[in-house]
A and B are shown apart, each in its own frame.
Chain A
Amino acid sequence: MSVAFQNSPHVALQALDELWFQVSGTLCNLECTHCFISCSPNNDSFGFLSLETVCRSLEESVRLGVKEYYFTGGEPFLNKEMVPILEETLQYGPATVLTNGTVLKDEWLKRLRDAEDRSGYTLEFRVSIDGPTPEINDPIRGERTFERAMIGVEKLVKAGFLPIITMTRTWSDEEDQRVLSEFQRVLAKHGNDRPRLKILPRLKIGAEAERSEGYNQTERVTKEMMVDYDESQLVCSHSRIVSDRGVHVCPILLEAPDSLLGDSLAESLLPFSLNHGACFTCYLYGSICTNPSSSKKE
C-alpha cells in the first residue's frame, strides 16, 4: 500500500443534495477520447436504468431531502424510457440531463417542455461540446459531432430551453476567456444569444488515462490538504449516483470497485475515502459536477 493511500482522508456525506442516475449505463453513440468512464456503442458493462428503478430511488429520496436530480451516461437519450423518466422526475424536483446533443428529437423536447411547465421545476440540458470549432471538438468527440451537437442546441433553443454548454478543457487555463468569447459568438450564430457555458477539468481516468499520462502517485488528496478546506466543494460530500449495480459514491468513480456503497440510498450514506487520482482533480477545481445555480462556494 502506498503512503498516499494510507494518508487518504475520509469525507462524510453532509447531505444528499444531488441524486444522480447513470441512466444509460456506459452506452453511448459516441466514443470520446477523453471519456472518464470509457463509454462507447459497445460498452455495456453498465446497463440502462428502467423507469421503475428510477421511481424507486425518487421515492426513497423524499425522506432524505434530495434537492435536485441529475441524469448522465453514456448518452441518456439512448434509453428508450428517458422522456417518461424525466417527466416523472419533474414531479419530485428539478432535473438536469447531461447529453451530447446528437440524438435529440423535436417531439421529445416538446413533451419535456410541457412537463417542465406543469411541474414548476427547471429542466436543464447540459450539452457536451468540447470547443467552439469542429477543429477543436471533432478530434476528441468524433467526425461531424460539432455540427450534429449544434443542431441539438438549435432544437433545444427552439423548444424554449437555454442549454448549458459544457466543455472539457484541452487548452491551458489562461486561454479560457478567449475560448468562452469565441463560443459565445458561435452560439449566437446558431440562435443561442444567451449562452451558458461551463468549462470542466480533464479527469485522467477511463479512456483519458490511455490517451494521456493518467494520474501519478503524488496526485492524491492527503489529510493535511483537508485542513481549512471547504469539504462542500467535493462531489462526494453532497451527492450519490444510482447505476444498475447499486448506489455509488459519485458519477466520476463509477468504474472503481470501491465506489459501490450499497443497494439502496439508505445503504450509501457512508463516508468515502479520497484515494483516487480523480479525487485530486475534484479537490483542486471544486463543484465540478453541479450547475452554477447550485454553487455553494465559501
Chain B
Amino acid sequence: MKFAFFGGIYNNYLALESAIKDSQKRGVEQLYCLGDIGAFGPHPDRVFPLLNQHQVQVVQGNYDNSIGNDLNDCQCGYTDPKDNHFAQISYEYTYEKTSSQNRAWLKELPTEIRFELMGKRFLLCHGSPRKTNEFLWESTTSTHFLKKQADDFGADIILGTHTGLHWKRNLSEGQQYINVGVLGRPENDGTKNVWYTLVTIEQDRVDVEFIPLEYDHQRLAKEMQSEKLPEEFVETILTGWWTTCLEVLPGRERRVGKF
C-alpha cells in the first residue's frame, strides 16, 4: 500500500497539482496533507478545490488555525522584527484572499490524524505530536526525545512538517519519525524543486522515499509578482534560497543556505 504525504502548501497550488499527478502515477491509494495550506504564495483559494477533488485528508497547521479562527498572526513564533514583518505581509494577504467558507473549513480541521495498518500505529501531526507549532529540526532534535514522543503518544510512525526541510530518523523497536518536507517552497539548497514523501507499507515494513518535485515555478513567481507579494519571496521561488524567516534555523541548517 502506498500513501503520499504533503507538508506545508503555502498557497502553492501549482506544486500541489504536480504532487497529486506525480503521486497518482506512482499508484498511491490515499493523499494526506499535514497542514499550513496558506502563506507565502498567491491565490489561497485555488488550493481548496484540489484538496476536495482528490479527497486529501488534512491535518490543521498553525497557519490554518490562525486563519480559521480569525487570529492576528500566523503563530510561527518569530522574534526577529524583520521576520515578523514578512510573516505579517504574507499572513494578511492570505487572510484577505481566503473565502469565509474556506476559513470555516480550516477552523474545523483535526490537529492530528491516527490510523493503524499492518500492526503499525500512524500519527500524523503538523509540528510535533504535543504541539502544532513546535519546530523539529534534524540537528536540534535528539533521538531519545523522539522515542519518548512516540511512546507517550502511542505511535510507531510519526509524520510531521512545519520546518520546511524533510528528514527522517529510525528509532528503536521499529519506530520512525518522518518530516515530510513542504510543497510550498524549495529547501534552501539552491534548487527550485520542492519535496513530498511517499510511504510504502508491505507486511511489517514501512519504506519511506522523499520525492523531489518539479512544478511551474516560473509561473508561480509571475503570479506572486502580479499579486504584489514581496520580491524576497519571489527570489526564493526562483533561486531555491530562503531569504526571510531565517532566525529560527539552527546553525547547522542555516550555514548550508546562502543567507
Contacts and interface: CB of A to CB of B under 8 A. Distances in A.
Interface of A: 15, 17, 61-68, 92-94, 116, 120-124, 160-162, 164, 176-177, 180, 194, 196, 198, 291-298
A121 B135 CA distance: 15
Nearest to A293: B250
B144 A66 contact: yes
Contacts of A116: 252
A182 to B, nearest CB: 14
A93 B136 CA distance: 13
Contacts of B116: none
B255 A65 contact: no
A223 to B, nearest CB: 25
Contact of B138 (A65, A120, A296): A120
Nearest to A69: B142
B138 A67 contact: no
Contact of A124 (B142, B144, B251, B259): B251
B81 to A, nearest CB: 6
A261 B124 CA distance: 37
Interface of B: 75, 77-81, 130-131, 133-135, 137-145, 147-149, 152, 246-255, 259
A297 B77 contact: yes
A192 to B, nearest CB: 11
Contacts of B139: 94, 120-122
Contact of A93 (B130, B144, B152, B246): B144
A288 to B, nearest CB: 11
Contacts of B246: 194
B81 A177 contact: yes
A292 B247 contact: yes
A297 B249 CA distance: 15
Nearest to B253: A122
B89 to A, nearest CB: 17
Given A94-B139, A94-B250, A297-B133, A292 B80 contact: yes
A116 B130 CA distance: 28
B105 to A, nearest CB: 23
24 contacts: A62-B144, A63-B144, A64-B148, A67-B140, A67-B141, A67-B142, A67-B145, A68-B140, A92-B142, A92-B144, A94-B140, A94-B142, A121-B252, A122-B250, A122-B252, A123-B252, A124-B250, A162-B254, A196-B251, A292-B248, A294-B135, A296-B131, A296-B133, A297-B77
The 4 closest A-B pairs by CB, nearest first: A65-B148, A93-B142, A297-B77, A122-B139
B51 to A, nearest CB: 27
Contacts of B135: 293-295
Nearest to A199: B79
B150 to A, nearest CB: 10
A292 B142 contact: no
Given A160-B255, A293-B249, A294-B135, A93 B80 contact: no
Given A65-B145, A94-B140, 14 more contacts: A15-B130, A65-B144, A68-B142, A93-B141, A93-B142, A94-B139, A121-B139, A121-B252, A122-B253, A176-B81, A291-B140, A293-B140, A295-B79, A297-B75
Contacts of B131: 296
B251 A122 contact: yes
B79 A292 contact: yes
A291 B250 CA distance: 8
Nearest to A121: B139
A15 B139 CA distance: 20
Contacts of B79: 198, 292, 295
A162 B147 contact: no
A194 B254 contact: yes
Contact of A296 (B77, B81, B253): B77
Contacts of A164: 251
Contacts of B254: 162, 194, 196
A184 to B, nearest CB: 10
Nearest to B139: A122
Contacts of B145: 17, 65-67, 93
